[in-house]
Structure 1
Amino acid sequence: MDLFEDLPEPSHSSGPVATATAQVQSEDEELRPKRKREEEEEEEPTDIKKDCKEGPPALRGFVASRRGERDEMQDAHVLLADLMLCRATPTRTRVSYFAVFDGHGGSRASRFAAENLHVNLARRFPSGDAENLDKLVKKCLLDTFRQTDDDFLKKASSQKPVWKDGSTATCLLQVDHTVYVANLGDSRAVLCRMEGGVSVAVALSREHNPTMYEERMRVQRAGGTVREGRVLGVLEVSRSLGDGQYKRCGVISTPDLRRRQLTPGDRFILLACDGLFKVFSADEAVKFILNILQDDSVGKGAELTEEACLYEAACQRLASEAVRRGCADNVTVILLSIAF
C-alpha cells in the first residue's frame, strides 16, 4: 500500500543555514479509510513540466525557538539546505533536509533524532539516477525512521535508570522539485500557496492523536487504552520516536508520508511543533507571516538580503507571538522560503 498521499497539484495562475547541532509497522487495512488509488499517476500539466526544466527551487531555512514556561527546552531542529547525500546527476541536482523534533519526558530523544536521523537518511538514500525514485525515497524514509528509533531505544534501555524520553518528528526532504514530508506525532508542516493573489494554507502532514479512530483502534488492539485523549492516560501522541514503555501499547514510529511537487505558486513552507498550533491555526500562521513579508518597516540587516531579513523577522515574530498569546509550551518554528 502506497503510504504517499499525493496532494493535488495547484492551479497555475535564505537565516543562514545551520548545521545539524520503528520497527516499521503498517496500519491494519480495515482501519484505514478506503481511498481510490489510480494505478498510474496522472500526467503532469504542461506548465509544471516547463517550470521543472528551469532548475529546482532553493529552500532557505530560518528558525526561531522559545522555551515558554517550561523548565527545559526539549525541542530540537535541523536545517541543511545542501545535504550532500550523493553526487549531482543530470536528473538530480539538489537535496535538502529540514526537521523539527518536539521532545517530551526530556530532551534526549529529540536531540538524538536531530543528530542521527539525517545521517541514517544519507547512508540509505538512493544513489545515481535510480528508476522508481519515489518508491525508493519512501522506503529510505521508512527504514531511516525505524533505524533511528531502534538505535535510540537501545541506547535508552542501556541507561540506569532507563531513559523514558520520546519525541515527535516532522522532516522535510527536498529532491529537486519534489518535497517529501515524513511526520510522527502532532508537529505540522504547512505550505503557503498563492492562487490568484490569495494565500491558501495546504497541510503537508497529518497529526497522530490517540483520539483518532485509526490510531485509537491500533492502540487498543495492542492491549493499550486511551483515557482522556492520551495513551494509558499519559502520552498525548500515538506515534513517536523513543517512548519505549509505550511501544507495547501500539505507539509506533512509522511516519505518515506525503509528497508534493513545488511550483512558482508556492511561497513558503512552515514547520513547527504543536506549541505554535495551540494558539495559531494554520491559516492564521500563514497570514501572520505574509503580513510581515509585506511590511516595508522591517529593518534591513548588514549581512542579510532584504528578503532574508523579512523571513527572519517573520519567523522570530511568529514564535514570540505564540508565547504572547499564552502558549506555555516550547515553541520552535522553521520557515522555509521558496525561490525559483
Structure 2
Amino acid sequence: MELYDELPEPPRAPEILSLKAHVAERRGEREELQDAHTICDLSEECRPIVTNISRLAFYAVFDGHGGSRAARYAAHNLHRNLVKKLPRGDIGVVDKAIKKSLLDAFKLTDEEFLKQAASQKPAWKDGTTAICVVVADNVLYIANLGDSRAVLCRMNEENQKPTVLSLSKEHNPNQYEERMRIQRAGGNVRDGRVLGVLEVSRSLGDGQYKRCGVISVPDVKRCPLADSDRFVLLACDGLFKAFSAEEAVNFVLSYVQDEDSQTEDMVARYESACHRLANEAVRRGAADNVTVLIVQILH
C-alpha cells in the first residue's frame, strides 16, 4: 500500500530543505559485497537546470545478484544517464519531465549494461535491483525495481510520533500482475522465483531472464517534502529481512533522540544511527548484504 497516496498533501516547506546523506554497507554472510550506492548533487551537471528548480540531488541503492558488476555499473551510470535525459530550461510540467527522464535513464542503463555483458566471454549474468530518489527542490521522485525499498519518516506535529510512509512498490514474481507478465512472455514462476531461480520480477541486467518477462521499467512515485519530515531511508532487502519499515525508522529515531547522545550534533547522531542499524541487521541474522542509506533532512 502506498501510504503517502492516502494522506492529504502536506503543506509545502517554504524554503528548500537542506539534506545530508549517510551510508553503511555490511557484507553479512556473503563472500563478497554485491551492493553499490550513489550519492550525488546533479545541480551543476544539469546546467542550465530546469526552470524554477534550484536543487537536484540523487540517492540510490543497488542490490546486486549473480555478481557485483551490474550493481557497480548502475551506481556509476544511472545518474549520468538521467542527466543526459533530463530536458533543460523551461519544460512546462516538471513532474512529467522528471518521471519520463527516469524511465528513459533506466532503459538506457539496462540496454548498455546488457550490451557490455553479452560481449564478454563467458557472458556476464549479473543483475541488480535499484531504489533511487531524485530530490528536485523539496519534491521526491522515487524509482524502484525489485525488492529494495524507500520509506519516509514524517513526524506528527501534535504528539511527535512518527508516521512511516512507504515510497516504493516491491516487485516479486508472486504478485499477480508480475506473474502474468512473466507467463505471457513464456516464463514461469516456481517456488516464488522466475524459472525457480530469480527472486525479483524487475531488474537491471539479468540478460538471461529478459526473454522471460523480467523488465527494467521502474515504478515512479512523487512525494513532496514537508517541514515535519525527518529522513528518507533507502535500503536493500537485507535490511528489511531483519526489520519492518516501522522498526527501522523507530530504531533510527531512538538513537538520534536519545538524551545520552546529546553531546553529538544531529549530523553525527544520524551517521551513528545509520551504522548501528546496519550492524543490528547483521546481528539479527541477515545473511544477505546490507546497505542502508539515510538522507537526513536538516532543520
**Short-chain TM bin:** over 0.9
- With 326-335 and 118-127 compared, the bigger mean Cα shift is at 118-127
Partner Cα separation in structure 1 for residue 138 and residue 21 of structure 2:
16
Alignment partner of 1:104 out of 48, 57, 65: 65
Q: How does 1:1-340 map to 2 (within 5 A)?
A: 7-8=4-5, 47-48=11-12, 51=13, 54-81=14-41, 83-84=43-44, 85-87=46-48, 91-195=52-156, 196=158, 197-298=160-261, 306-340=265-299
Number of residues of Structure 1 aligned to a counterpart in Structure 2: 295
Q: Per the alignment, do residues 64 and 300 of structure 1 end up closer, same or farther by CA in structure 2, a change over 3 Å counting?
A: farther
CA distance in 1, matches of 2:120, 2:5: 46
Closer, same or farther: CA 265–166 of 1 in aligned 2, 3 Å: same
Aligned partners of 1:156, 1:82: CA distance in 2, in Å? 27
Contact 2:173–2:194 under 8 Å retained in 1: yes
Q: CA deviation at 1:57?
A: 1.2
Show the counterpart of 1:20.
Answer: none
Structure 1 position 103, deviation (Å): 0.2
**Post-superposition shift, 1:154?**
0.1
RMSD value, Cα:
1.8
The amino acid across from 2:225 in the alignment is L
Which whole-Å CA distance do the structure 1 matches of 2:51 and 2:143 have between them?
A: 26
Deviation at 1:7, TM superposition (A): 3.5
CA gap of 1:60–1:81, structure 2 versus 1, over 3 A, is farther
Q: Distance in 2 between matches of 1:307 and 1:72?
A: 32
The alignment partner of 2:174 has SS state of: coil
Gaps of 5+ in 1: 12-43
Contact 1:299 1:309 in 2 (8 A): no
Q: Distance in 1 between matches of 2:235 and 2:122?
A: 31
Deviations 1:237-278 (A, max 9, x none): 000000000000000000011100001011110000000000
- TM-score, length basis structure 2: 0.94
Deviation at 1:128, TM superposition (A): 1.4
Which range is displaced more, 243-252 or 73-82?
Answer: 73-82
Equivalent position SS for 2:70: helix
CA contact (8 A) 2:38 2:61 kept: yes
CA deviations over 1:298-328 (Å, ceiling 9, x no partner)? 3867xxxx11101001100000000000001
Contact 1:300–1:309 (Cα < 8 Å) also in 2 = no
CA offsets, 1:75-132, max 9 Å, x none? 0001114542233577211000000000000000000000001001111112113201
Q: Which stretch of structure 1 is more off in the superposition, 321-330 or 194-203? A: 194-203
Q: 1:9 to 1:339 in 2, by over 3 A?
A: farther
Deviations 1:202-227 (A, max 9, x none): 10000000000010010011000000
Identical columns (%): 58
| TM-score, structure 1 normalization | 0.83
AA aligned opposite 2:19: L
For residues 256 and 204 of structure 1, the distance between their equivalents in structure 2, rounded to whole angstroms, comes to 10
Structure 2 alignment gaps of length 5 or more: none
Q: Alpha-carbon deviation of 1:295?
A: 1.7
- Aligned counterparts of 2:50 and 2:84: Cα–Cα separation in 1: 18
CA contact (8 A) 2:106 2:218 kept: yes
Partner-residue secondary structure (3-state), 2:33: coil
Distance 2:74 2:32 in 1: 17
Answer whether contact 1:319 1:333 (CA < 8 A) is retained: yes
Which amino acid letter does the alignment assign opposite residue 274 of structure 2? C
Query: In the TM superposition, what is the alpha-carbon distance from 1:138 to its structure 2 partner?
Result: 1.1
